[in-house]
Amino acid sequence: MTSERMIASNRSNGRCGRGPRTAAGKASSSRNALRHGLAASLRNKPAMCSDVEKLARNIAGAGADDAQLGRARIIAEAQLDLVRIRGLKVAVMNSFAAEANPSGPEGEGFLGEGCCLQEFGMTPKILLQLCKLDRYEGRAISRRRRAMRAFLVSQPFQEVK
């Protein structure tokens, strides 16, 4: 049976931890994940913005109008997100391999041919990091796929001879 004191404590704690209540607080909270990390848009990063633009122009091709270029930018941003995420996944696995086997085949803990992560005793911590990265990777793949469909639908039909 729960005591009266415990019930009062639970109610008090429950009132404190329910998140933002005002519209301004909710709006501010909704933008937290977009400030940093893998959820951040590449358009807000000047170093990556030029890469997105170059790739988008290559995807759209010469003579593309603004609408096609806009769709190509979405594809390019998703593709560069995938490159970033997959690079992080490799870094996580290599850092774990370096800790587990410092004198690996390439000297830096590199996961070489035929390497099995179970040989290293993969920890739940590393698996959790990889699962988080998988979630971002799946979202980036979905974004790229949707953008590619929209881009292809907007292209003028050209008959193949």
Q: State both tokens at 11.
A: 């109610």
pLDDT on residue 86: 93
pLDDT on residue 71: 92
Q: Which residue has the higher pLDDT, 58 or 125?
A: 58
Question: How far is CA 87 from each of CA 41, 58, 82, 113, rounded to the nearest angstrom?
Answer: 17, 22, 8, 18
pLDDT for residue 84 is more than 80: yes
Q: Amino acid letter at 41?
A: S
Weakest-pLDDT range from 9-13, 35-39, 103-107, 108-112: 108-112
% of the chain at pLDDT higher than 90: 31
Q: Amino acid letter at 32?
A: N
Give CA–CA dist 157/57, Å, rounded: 20
At 92-151, the pLDDT tens digits run 888 877 776 666 555 444 455 555 555 556 677 788 888 888 988 999 999 999 999 999
> Measured between alpha carbons, how far apart are the two ends of the chain, in Å?
80
Q: Which residue has the higher pLDDT, 75 or 33?
A: 75
User: pLDDT averaged over the chain?
Assistant: 80
pLDDT on residue 96: 77
Q: Where are the domains of the chain?
A: 40-154
pLDDT on residue 33: 63
pLDDT on residue 157: 67
pLDDT on residue 109: 47
pLDDT for residue 13 is more than 90: no
pLDDT for residue 4 is more than 90: yes
